[in-house]
Amino acid sequence: MEHATLVEKYTAAQQDWLDRMSTLDATSTQWDIVLTFRDLLLSQTNPLAAAKRIAELILSHPNVMEAYDYTLGCFLEAVEFFPSNNISSLLAAFLATLAGLPDATNQREEPLLWHHLPRFSLWLRERMNGPEAYLSRGDSPETAKATWKNINTFVAILFRDHGTKFPELFGPLVTYAFATLADALESSPRSRLGRNVPLHLPAAYQWILLAGVEVYNAVKERDNEEFWSARAGQLWTREGVRDEVDEKRWCFWMYRFGELKADARLDAAMNWEAAQAELRMENLAIGWNSES
């Protein structure tokens, strides 16, 4: 499907939702927000202009946080819907630009928006529950796989491109890399997650493809007395430190990708992705150790 057609479909879905909520008219703030996102997605405006326009719309609404929450929902709908790495990069640039705007304040001069993007982490966390969450709402396996891949693509790019500038806001997003890799690679084939490996693997591959360097650096550069953590699956049974993410767990994930490159449950494209992920992870580990 052509990109312009996808944008039209996305815009129509937002219009339908607003219509059902009885908040759609030619002058509504919510509809102006949708149109601004449409223009951004069609490259008819840039992330800076879009962020300034969205901020203006939100702050002009009688209920600022209601308009802000609607913006987050509309934004994340786009994140989940579009399968393009370029669009994910565009959306990440928009969000980082919004976070970089001068903070708005309330009447008591207390920060209101934008630097901390209040509630963004909560909204995102509610959507980072694996493809099973999309299956439970009635999506087909193919749609669940694609949506899970799309949102992880966005988060990986947001962490890679903007985590250094906004370390408190976007730096911790690396935890989603660890959780996504663990869910895709550590589950017993007989478990629910294990049976759903074909739905999980493309998202895990995106993390290695798009942000492998940054994720591996996070694993290596963590203080020796303090580890990142991710809930361990049945196949990761290292005694005493099950949830810690360190170089040994990275190597285990690399080994699992190696196993999956010949797994008959996967199609040829996913077998290839698993092989590429294994090779990239190995090269990152070799490169780091040769520099140490």
CA atoms of 248 and 270, how far apart (whole Å): 24
pLDDT at 291 over 60: no
CA atoms of 96 and 202, how far apart (whole Å): 25
pLDDT of residue 112: 73
**Token reading at 57:** 């719309």
CA angle 180, 40, 93 (to 5 degrees): 45
CA atoms of 211 and 193, how far apart (whole Å): 23
Averaged pLDDT, 113-123: 91
CA atoms of 208 and 151, how far apart (whole Å): 15
pLDDT of residue 115: 84
pLDDT of residue 191: 85
Asked whether the beta carbons of 200 and 136 are under 8 A apart, the reply is no
CA atoms of 76 and 127, how far apart (whole Å): 9
pLDDT at 181 over 90: yes
Confidence bin at 55 (pLDDT 50/70/90): very high
pLDDT of residue 280: 96
The 3-class secondary structure across 22-48, one letter per residue, is CCCCCCCHHHHHHHHHHHHHCCCCCHH
Spell out the domain ranges in the chain.
1-127, 166-292
**pLDDT tens digits for range 220-268:** 887 555 778 899 988 987 555 578 898 999 999 999 999 999 999 899 9
pLDDT of residue 68: 94
The three-state secondary structure class of 111 is strand
Confidence bin at 18 (pLDDT 50/70/90): confident
**pLDDT tens digits for range 59-117:** 999 888 889 999 999 999 999 999 999 999 999 999 999 999 998 866 665 567 888 89
pTM of the model: 0.93
Confidence bin at 34 (pLDDT 50/70/90): very high
**pLDDT tens digits for range 187-227:** 888 888 889 999 999 999 999 999 999 999 999 887 555 77
